[in-house]
Structure 1
């Protein structure tokens, strides 16, 4: 369950208040969702709201571009997406690939996607099929390396 706390003046930068996000790795019960605390909002809803504002959307895209090398390994599917300043939701919309499938590709869980998926991804990211295949391999390798360390 992921929730958004809200704006706070306690963590101010020179620009003003800063958003605080609380992320919990506790499994949520799909049958009976816990009631959300007053004033809290789902992170998904906050991001969707911010992506709706063109100025904020551009700021988020610029931040993704700047942080691509920090948030992901160069050459991975995630890196290619962030390098273009795209959110996973935006790439899903551009490529007509479900977000869940993109998540599996980026995480390396799906290392043998269909050719049609690779073609749509290549077109959306303006890359060649060879670059997409290499990016999927990098993403899969990262996932396998992580599993070996456990």
Structure 2
């Protein structure tokens, strides 16, 4: 896909260790996704970006964890803004999902559900667990009407 390389380049300017997946939400059944049916009709595909949290976090360093989470939130905001701009410059519409904890009643975020639907991990105990790094990933989502092909890649 012509956008995949541009999307990767945009992400790689901000971080080195990331997850990237694209999923067509228009044909999937999921309780969280169904709540966004009107949005999905306008933006049927989702780009899921995950930034791996550094491994230097120990259980006793909650303050550091919160700081790293805020830093990756800032990176995700920049990355998702850049991806939106890239697609909008090509004439497509985009919607960047806010980084709030939109849940399905079990405290699973929309971002984690989309990443799961893009086959980047499995939801366990209300969080996404990746095979590579477990739950140590912060997720962001860009919805679009661009004709992107579904894929998943961990770098």
The interval holding the TM-score normalised by the smaller chain is under 0.3
Q: Using CA pairs below 8 Å that are at least 6 residues apart, which structure has the higher relative contact order? A: 2
Would you tell me which structure has more helix in proportion to its own residues? 1
Q: If the length of structure 1 is used for normalisation, what is the TM-score?
A: 0.27
Q: If the length of structure 2 is used for normalisation, what is the TM-score?
A: 0.26
